[in-house]
Structure 1
Amino acid sequence: MNAAPDLRRELGDWRLWAVRATVMLLAAAAGLTVVWFSWLADQAYERFLALRALAWWSPLVWTPTCTALVVWCTRRWFPGAAGSGIPQVMATLDTKVGDGERGLFVSLRLTIAKIVLTAGGLLGGLSLGREGPSVQIAAGVMLQARRMIPAGSAVGIHGLLVAGGAAGIAAAFNTPLGGVMFAIEELARAPEQRSSGLIIAGIVLAGLVGVSAHGDGAYFGVIHAPAVGLWLLLPGLFVAILSGLAGGLFSRLMIASLSGSGRDVASRLRARRPVLFAAVCGLAVAIVGLATDGAAFGSGYASTRHMVEGTAAMPFAYAPFKFLATWLTTWAGVPAGIFAPSLAIGAAFGNDVALLLYHVQVPALIALGMVGFLAAATQAPLTAFIIVMEMVDGHAMVLSLMACALVAFAVARLISRPLYPTLANLQLARIPTPAVAPEQRAAAD
């Protein structure tokens, strides 16, 4: 078979190369945007720490004030920026969403709002991550390529959203492979086969932009785990089940809280006075943060790195306190992700089990706790496995991490529905219902 005509057509079609160049350029721009967002978020949290250093009681005033202000701005002008950002991107991929409704979930305007409002949450010391918001941020940047790509191109809206969302994970976590797996597991429900190579190339490019900015190293540090043997079986199984139960409970609480279906006093207050409710949640987070000597504030990067590298030990009650602070932050309604806090909570569970076993197999159990809780909370076991695997020094724990992720995922499925698809359905409820003419309503009756 003569491949020369196909090769000449491939090389000579300038429109095809223009589309590819546009996608790669926007992928690089998405990666740069996430890198800048990460820097801004870090700077905002540093300002919070500086304020807390001036007066230990300042979070009791500052955190609820920031929380109320962020929620007020979000509800007043940018309702599509609330929450993680991953459900919004998943909702945009639904076939029911047309060109007119897409801006409700992903747009350049929401990208800018997400950056500012999430940084505002960290300025208040709230327990949130920036990885979920990075998905919506990068998708909003990537979606701008649709204005430059001609109709009928091999790359459609679906492909751009998948590439953008996964590029956000790749750049935020400094893990290109994690971004590709996230695209496959969470976003690419109906992938575009014709452009899959280009989409993956864009994700990898965005991840390389993150690597260039942060350096070629694991974002949460490196786990130096010993060789794995049968001695890890029972403790590892205990960590997998514990993290699965805790992660499933966390997911169930998130769904119940954000759906607004509860009839308790807190749910009624959230529905009627959302800004006041946000201030109450902010005050509760401040109290939890002060009770843990500041450990429960912020995303949990520093705490996780300390546990991973063995430079400091977290208090035994850190895991439930961080769990509570993260849930309250999300329930308040601020733009907030849960990936980084989930890794911190999981690491703390693994650390606690190691303490119960008199400091036996600490690095290995911390790694298992991280992958188990993240897999259970997000119900994305492969993504959790890839992200944590890239932190482990060597390949001795690869099979153990994969087994832990699957066990925790199976346990969580018994407790809770999948988190992100359920929240995506709640996002779809925001699409305005078309008005029905009186004569059509009479005919229907």
Structure 2
Amino acid sequence: MQTMTPTSDAPPRIPSRTLLLPARRGFRRQVSALVASRAGLVALALTIGGGAGLGAIAFRWLINTFTHLFSGHADYSAAGHAANPHVPWLGMWFVLFAPVIAGLIYGPLVYKFAPEARGHGVPEVMYAVARKGGRIAPQVAVVKSLASALCIGSGGSVGREGPIVQIGSALGSTLGRVVGAGEDRMRLLVACGAAGGIAATFNAPLAGVFFAMELILTSFAAEGFGMIVLSSVVASVIGRAAFGNEPFLVLPEFHTASPKQLLLFAALGIVAGAVGVTFSKILYLIEDACDWAWRWPEWARPAVGGLLLGVVLLVLPEMYGVGYPVLGNAVAGKYAIGFLLVLLVGKIVATSLTIGIGGSGGVFAPSLFMGAMAGSAFGLLAHDVFGASAGGLGSYALIGMGAVFAGAARAPITAVVIMFELTGEYSIIVSLMAAIVVATLTSKMLTGDTVYTLKLRRRGIDLATPPASSPFAGLDVASIMEPLPAPLPGGTRLSEAADSLAASRHGVLPVVAADGSFVGLTSARAVAEVLAEGGRDGEPVRELVHSPKTIRSDTDVTTALDALLAADPAGLPVLDADGTGLAGWITHQSVLAAVHRPSVPQAA
């Protein structure tokens, strides 16, 4: 029986995957065209608003759940030195251990999956919009939710607005990446997520819009404003359906008794502006002190530092969590001047320490707390000096809240709008605006940075300076890395490793454990020096590894270049997006080849 062979006339077999490529490209073009259209942008804004609203609901539920778990109360800041009913035998001493236990959970979580989730979140979003085209890692939303809820629920003296801004922004960025949005659209979608998160969490849709435009986008373009409003409205509707149509902080009605009080409110603006700047400086001073003192793995820092935070909570339990009940008591005039100043200083220290030890949470709510304490103390002093003509005490506390935030963040429009939304009292708007403007000017005179931009400037990033056009924009490491050199098992003998290293063009090779996980690098020089000593050729190569600074495949090329500058000329290994396995190799040559490819002459 003869075997038939195909003739040369038979058509070649085309893989089905190749046949699908044109269809996929066509679909992507259609999606890109839809995103670029106004109707597509409206649909994306509505979707992001809905996602941010649902994210805010989940985030607040997590905070409430962890607060009940760690303290046994709905809000321990108003419980005095009460014991946790879950562990009554510990008495009030449980606050020493709650931050430690939570730190043991969220410390490794942040370190492993999303280091950018550490801290107060808003600077990272500002940087992503200004310098990274709005790209935020999708896992940030989940990690930030869990880490911040654990931190606040266990006593961390931080707010929830920074986390929800980062959570909503990550949702917007992820959706933009899925639909293939360009950089301009991506930035707008990130701002939509930030606005939706603020609107749903605080039942303040206008504040969400102006927060996103004043701090995140730093522009008020007409099209962007409309999309952000849509996202904020949808998120606010979802938030109100879940939390009711009540502001996040219920305050009594206020009014100003006389225009003469404007001078007093202007003076309060100067004090509040100074308080906001002081808070910004102390925040990073304590963070620097924590960085200087810490010499151990970063994942353990929140747990060990939690003991210090526990001591603060033991002395002053009013610092537990956000502290809205304490803020309400100050506005109602229930505290004396001396205790108000203690609470002011305590909040500055507790918030700074929470962030310094690696905690996760915002600084907006703490600045409102500080403003209420400073404003109430100022109002009591004004009453002592001027009597009843000074006006209502509550108005000083309310105006102090907005003025301290304006002094710290230098966002006067957002400060005015959110204070107005809190009260709905228009009669106080003139006094509020006067104090906030004075606080903003005072802050600008005292420092060139805000509580948000100072964090970036300390990393060498100045958002006020237009970035130089970079050929690396939009590139990540996965798109330029070289194939991975064949790794050496950790048990390979040095004599065998020498052969592989001699054939390697990099002069170094990665070493892996039995399960394939990355152990470190070994170099031809290190092996040659040991073999030259004699008698150690049977030693396993894992004894000669060093641990370089690794980067991941989803890292942007600009960040990778910073790591390459401090690395061996041979380059660096690239880990996969999970940070566990090896994915490739990157060198200066591979970076240069990606951005400077020689043009190919066109055929005549």
Instruction: After superposition, give the CA deviation of every residue in 1:167-219 in whole Å (9 maximum; x if it has no partner).
Output: 22212221000011112211123566545422321122222322332222221
CA positional deviation for 1:344: 1.2
Q: Which amino acid aligns with 2:59?
A: F
SS for the counterpart of 1:83 is coil
1:305 to 328, 333, 349: 328
Instruction: After superposition, give the CA deviation of every residue in 1:42-66 in whole Å (9 maximum; x if it has no partner).
Output: 2222323216353211111222342
User: Which of these two proteins has the greater Rg computed from alpha carbons?
Assistant: 2
Higher mean C-alpha displacement, 317-326 vs 62-71: 62-71
| In 2: Cα distance, 1:232 partner to 1:151 partner | 51
Partner of 1:39: 61
C-alpha spacing 1:56/1:230, structure 2 compared with 1 (3 Å) = same
Partner of 2:346: 321
2:71 to 44, 49, 56: 49
| In 2: Cα distance, 1:348 partner to 1:29 partner | 35
1:331 corresponds to 2:356: yes
| In 1: Cα distance, 2:195 partner to 2:591 partner | 47
| In 2: Cα distance, 1:439 partner to 1:146 partner | 26
| In 2: Cα distance, 1:396 partner to 1:309 partner | 19
Instruction: After superposition, give the CA deviation of every residue in 1:220-267 in whole Å (9 maximum; x if it has no partner).
Output: 112411333145245423422222111101112234455x4xxx6x44
C-alpha spacing 1:91/1:49, structure 2 compared with 1 (3 Å) = same
Instruction: After superposition, give the CA deviation of every residue in 1:361-419 in whole Å (9 maximum; x if it has no partner).
Output: 21111111111111112221221121112122521110111111111122222333122
SS for the counterpart of 2:560 is coil
CA positional deviation for 1:75: 2.2
| In 2: Cα distance, 1:426 partner to 1:93 partner | 18
CA positional deviation for 1:422: 3.2
C-alpha spacing 1:196/1:62, structure 2 compared with 1 (3 Å) = closer
Q: Is the 8 A contact 1:121 1:334 kept in 2?
A: yes
Q: Which amino acid aligns with 1:21?
A: A
Q: Is the 8 A contact 1:180 1:204 kept in 2?
A: no
Partner of 2:171: 141
1:181 to 199, 210, 214: 210
| Greater helix fraction, Structure 1 or Structure 2 | 1
Q: Is the 8 A contact 2:96 2:313 kept in 1?
A: no
Q: Is the 8 A contact 2:213 2:219 kept in 1?
A: no
1:421 corresponds to 2:457: no
1:226 corresponds to 2:226: no
Q: Which amino acid aligns with 1:206?
A: A
2:559 to 389, 410, 431: 431
Higher mean C-alpha displacement, 197-206 vs 312-321: 312-321
SS for the counterpart of 1:391 is helix
C-alpha spacing 1:143/1:273, structure 2 compared with 1 (3 Å) = closer
Which is bigger in relative contact order (C-alpha 8 A, separation at least 6)? Answer: 1
1:78 corresponds to 2:101: no
Structure 1 alignment gaps of length 5 or more: 1-12, 441-445
How high is the TM-score relative to the length of structure 2?
0.63
SS for the counterpart of 1:432 is helix
| In 2: Cα distance, 1:403 partner to 1:47 partner | 43
Partner of 2:12: none
CA RMSD of aligned residues (A): 3.0
2:138 to 88, 105, 108: 108
Partner of 2:232: 203
Q: Which amino acid aligns with 1:139?
A: S
CA positional deviation for 1:158: 1.2
Q: Which amino acid aligns with 1:236?
A: F
Q: Which amino acid aligns with 2:306?
A: G
Q: Is the 8 A contact 1:91 1:425 kept in 2?
A: no
C-alpha spacing 1:438/1:382, structure 2 compared with 1 (3 Å) = closer
How high is the TM-score relative to the length of structure 1?
0.83
Alignment size in residue pairs: 414
C-alpha spacing 1:159/1:64, structure 2 compared with 1 (3 Å) = same
1:66 to 84, 102, 106: 102
| In 2: Cα distance, 1:194 partner to 1:353 partner | 42
Higher mean C-alpha displacement, 241-250 vs 428-437: 428-437
C-alpha spacing 1:394/1:278, structure 2 compared with 1 (3 Å) = same
1:8-47 map, 5 Å: 16-47=38-69
| In 1: Cα distance, 2:361 partner to 2:444 partner | 23
CA positional deviation for 1:88: 1.3
Partner of 2:482: none
Percent of matched pairs sharing the same residue: 26
Q: Which amino acid aligns with 1:140?
A: A
CA positional deviation for 1:134: 0.3
Partner of 2:129: 93
C-alpha spacing 1:290/1:201, structure 2 compared with 1 (3 Å) = same
Q: Is the 8 A contact 2:195 2:228 kept in 1?
A: no
Partner of 1:394: 425
Higher mean C-alpha displacement, 247-256 vs 431-440: 431-440
1:159 corresponds to 2:195: no
| In 1: Cα distance, 2:376 partner to 2:314 partner | 21
